[in-house]
Amino acid sequence: MTQGKYANIIIDISHEKVDKTFQYKIPEQLRGILEEGMCVQVPFGKGDHLRQGYVVEVTDQTQFPEDRLKQVAGIVRESLPVEADAIKLAAWMKQTYGSTMIAALKTVLPVKQAMKPKEKKKITRLLTIEETRWVWAEAIRKHQGARAKVLEELIREEVLPYELVRAKLNVSPTTLKSLESQGIIKIERENYYRNPVKLEVNREDGRELNGEQARIRDQVLCDFDEGKRKTYLIHGITGSGKTEVYLSLIEGMIKRKKQCIVLIPEIALTYQTLLRFYKRFGDRVSVMNSTLSAGEKFDQCERAKKGELDVIIGPRSALFVPFPNLGMIVIDEEHESSYKSETMPRYHARESAEYLAGLKGACLVLGSATPSLEAYYRAQKGSYELFTLNRRPTGGNLASVSIIDLRKELREGNRSIFSRKLQELMEERLSKKEQAMLFLNRRGYAGFVSCRACGYVMKCPHCDVSLSQHLGGRMVCHYCGYETRQPQKCPECGSAYILGFKAGTEQIEQQLLSRFQGIRVLRMDADTTRKKDSYEKILAAFCAGEADVLVGTQMIVKGHDFPNVTLVGVLAADLSLNDSDYRSGERTFQLLTQAAGRAGRGQRPGEVLIQTYRPDHYSILCSASQDYRAFYEKEIMYRGLGGYPPVIHMMAILITSPNEKRGETFAGRIVEMIKEQMPCLADNSDVKKVDTSGKVTLIGPARASIGRINDIYRFLIYCKSSKYRQLTKIKDIVESYVQSAGSREENIQFDFDPVNNI
Ligand code: ADP
Ligand code: ZN
Ligand code: ZN
């Protein structure tokens, strides 16, 4: 324990403006007691008003004269001390991703404040059964009905839940009080933890692992016992038994008195997944996600700290549950883009988990059927250990996949979104009463509306994006929520030919209904899943056979087993290739591979049709042949040639301003400043050549691909370097420039190795 005399303190973590530490003296009586992570009260500002702050460091060093320092006033009792590891993690995030320390601290604290424990009252009988019988007879004689009812129950049970007595027996508090004052019963309160999961399940043992699976388990546990802490990547096709491996690894960790964090994309955190963990580990498993109340979150952290939980499951943020003896972190579907935060600090759960595992002495297990280029690249370089699962333990073959050239369909006179082959197969499935899934890899709305006469396009008045057409003539902006009605006439030229383009899921549903007689369709997209539970409800209905076809966006391709689905159609595979960022090929491959994995999960073989205008693109070809390696080799070559992650690192600096001119000037100044202070490659140099010396390439400033959102203008600067450290240096330079410039309206955000366009 540090016996330091000074504490570095961050004031009031809800206040982002004062993002620096202030030093205070630690008074005698708190020396050796005050620790990093504690919440304290300190005098602050001119009036020395007491404010709350977090101790981020206790030290013997000071740069100030002793008498200039104020003193810590006291420790805030009901506050939660922050674990020292959490502070280290926050500091690392701030440094690695660029954000304020305060924002980083807020990110790593799952709950900021202690919540009142939930209470339960119980009634305990103090008399013997004999004595109670006697009192009961007395009550009957005196016609004291309520009293008699309670006593009758107490003869049967020594302890009764208070709520039950009040509600079921309808006995008043007065009656109970009088029983208590006569020494017949005792009313007690006890605390209990809120438990967000209410499942009554029978425990089940795991399956015997097959050879491939057992090898992974044995090696990971063996490494662990030998004190080796590594990152493992399990590349296994869907249904190859990855989850079964996680479960048996967790079992191994529990035997070693270690706890585990399991990250799962929010969308895959279904009842079925939870059930599997519950059957195995009972109520020593819990969940942590955004739907929990503050009290529930607090209680899960308490249970974790007290060692009452072995496993926590949840999306990205479950990483911050404070286990005292963390042994393993599992990240399932590690390629999912939802593992990257979209708000500052824009951290990636995979990298953060690696850092946290290092702090805690835990190992990290990543799993995916289509690993991210990042993870596979690191596995190739040897910094991750790679395992491969090649077959399904339950048997069942991979579906057969064919590619349909939509250009040819059009040439041969078919204007429908359903190719002739797809129509044929659909008819066949309908007659056999088997199910099909149709997948559109774009968000679930129709395209923009434009005038066929003059080309005018309906745009959002606040953002630089076109409005999207919805059923019922609604026009919606998907960035700010602006909504208006579709005009009858073009506002520019007055033509009546102002119409929607392209097909969304709504249109596909309509066309299915008119094309196939009596077909039953379920649709799943952003619109139909807005309500809580609607996602699960749609899936359950489809699983129960309430529809012949499920039409949907990306959501439908995520790991669900529908044994009766024997046909999967991808309607226009190249839609996701048109996104203008370097990950579109990877995303397309992942989506198509996952979609293909949906067919033929039961006993009957499955068929997959991929309709596309670009049948010769490698993302499409490799997903059709289900060949990850071939895809990886092609893609990593392009990343190298183009100078993109993971081959080199990239940092986007987003500059926003309510004023277009000022934003542009500010962005320009930032570029100038970086050039003054860092060795940069010349602007006109070949960006495509990868420079391994770490020299920086600057691109921009330029308007972001969406140049305005909600009337705020957006500019981007891209910095590339083979060395991550060079980029964090630039970040530091820019941060201190922004602070000294003291600009109020211009705002800066950093995004390292961006996953989505910002
Ligand atoms: P993944 O997570 O890779 O999609 P799962 O672990 O969910 O794969 O396994 C797919 C199916 O195979 C599940 O129904 C699971 O119960 C079953 N399974 C996994 N491993 C085995 C095994 N060793 N023996 C028998 N069945 C298994
Ligand atoms: Zn017009
Ligand atoms: Zn808008």
Written as one string, the DSSP assignment of 437-468 is EEE-SS-SS---EEETTT--B-B-SSSSSB-E
What is the Å distance from ligand 2's center to 377 Cα?
A: 50
Among the bound ligands, the one closest to the CA of 460: 3
> Residues lining ligand 1, CB < 6 A?
207-210, 213, 236, 238-244, 393-394
Burial class for 599, CB neighbours closer than 10 Å (0-12, 13-18, 19+)? buried
Radius of gyration of the chain (CA): 31
Among the bound ligands, the one closest to the CA of 457: 2
Amino acid 444: pLDDT: 39
What is the Å distance from ligand 3's center to 536 Cα?
A: 30
Using alpha carbons, select from 336, 370, 360 the residue that is nearest to residue 350.
Answer: 336
CA-332 nearest atom, ligand 1: 2
Using alpha carbons, select from 560, 617, 558, 615 the residue that is nearest to residue 590.
Answer: 558
CA-247 nearest atom, ligand 1: 6
Instruction: List phi, psi (to 5°) of 674.
Output: -60, -45
* CA separation, residue 525 to residues 99, 413, 438, 476 (Å): 33, 30, 12, 15
Per-chain residues with Cβ under 5 A from ion ligand 2: 451, 453-454, 456, 490, 492-493, 495
Report the nearest-CA residue for atom 21 of ligand 1: 393
What is the Å distance from ligand 2's center to 703 Cα?
A: 27
Sign of CA dihedral 70, 73, 77, 79: negative
Amino acid 1: pLDDT: 46
Report the nearest-CA residue for atom 11 of ligand 1: 239
Using alpha carbons, select from 687, 640, 718 the residue that is nearest to residue 377.
Answer: 640
Q: Are 69 and 42 in contact (CB under 8 A)?
A: no
| Cis before 646? omega within 30 | yes
Among the bound ligands, the one closest to the CA of 494: 2
Amino acid 235: pLDDT: 97
The pTM (predicted TM-score) of the whole model is: 0.82
CA atoms within 13 A of residue 61's CA, in its CB half-sphere: 2
Q: How far is CA 568 from the centre of its chain?
A: 27
Written as one string, the DSSP assignment of 197-246 is --------PPPPP-HHHHHHHHHHHHHHHTT---EEEEEE-TTSSHHHHH
Amino acid 690: pLDDT: 58
CA-276 nearest atom, ligand 1: 16
Report the nearest-CA residue for atom 9 of ligand 1: 241
Taking the C-alpha atoms of residue 55 and residue 8, their distance in angstroms, rounded to an integer, is 6
Amino acid 78: pLDDT: 65
CA-240 nearest atom, ligand 1: 3
Amino acid 691: pLDDT: 67
Sign of CA dihedral 406, 412, 415, 419: negative
Q: Are strands 712-721 and 649-657 parallel, antiparallel or unpaired?
A: antiparallel
pLDDT 10s digits, 329-363: 999 999 998 999 988 899 999 999 999 999 999 99
* CA separation, residue 741 to residues 16, 24, 670 (Å): 17, 28, 11
**280 by DSSP, 3-state: which?**
helix
Taking the C-alpha atoms of residue 519 and residue 557, their distance in angstroms, rounded to an integer, is 21
pLDDT 10s digits, 166-187: 877 788 888 889 889 988 898 8
Sign of CA dihedral 491, 497, 501, 506: positive
For the chain, residues with pLDDT lower than 50 are 1-2, 444-446, 684-687
Which secondary structure element, helix H or strand E, spans residue 285, and what is its range? strand 285-287
Per-chain residues with Cβ under 5 A from ion ligand 3: 460, 462-463, 477, 479-480, 482
